[in-house]
Amino acid sequence: MTEEIDVLVVVDDRWNRVPESLKNLGKRFKAKLHLLFVRNLQITPEVLTELEKKYSSLKEKALKKLQSLAEELKSYGFGTDIVGVHYGIAHERILRESERIKPDYILVRARRRPRLWRILGDYYYDDLFRSSKIPVLVGR
> Structural domain boundaries of the chain?
4-139
What backbone torsions phi and psi does residue 33 show, to the nearest 5 degrees? Answer: -105, 125
pLDDT < 50: residue spans in the chain: 1, 116-117, 119-120
Q: In the prediction, which pLDDT does 8 show? A: 93
Q: In the prediction, which pLDDT does 1 show? A: 43
Kindly report the average pLDDT of the chain as a whole number: 81
Q: In the prediction, which pLDDT does 35 show? A: 94
Name the pTM for this structure. Answer: 0.81
- Is there a contact between 113 and 122 (Cβ–Cβ < 8 Å)? yes
CA distance 69 to 17: 7
Q: In the prediction, which pLDDT does 80 show? A: 93
The total of other beta-carbon atoms located within 10 Å of residue 2's CB is 8
Q: In the prediction, which pLDDT does 122 show? A: 52
Q: In the prediction, which pLDDT does 140 show? A: 66
Q: What's the CATH code, domain 4-139?
A: 3.40.50.620
Q: In the prediction, which pLDDT does 119 show? A: 45
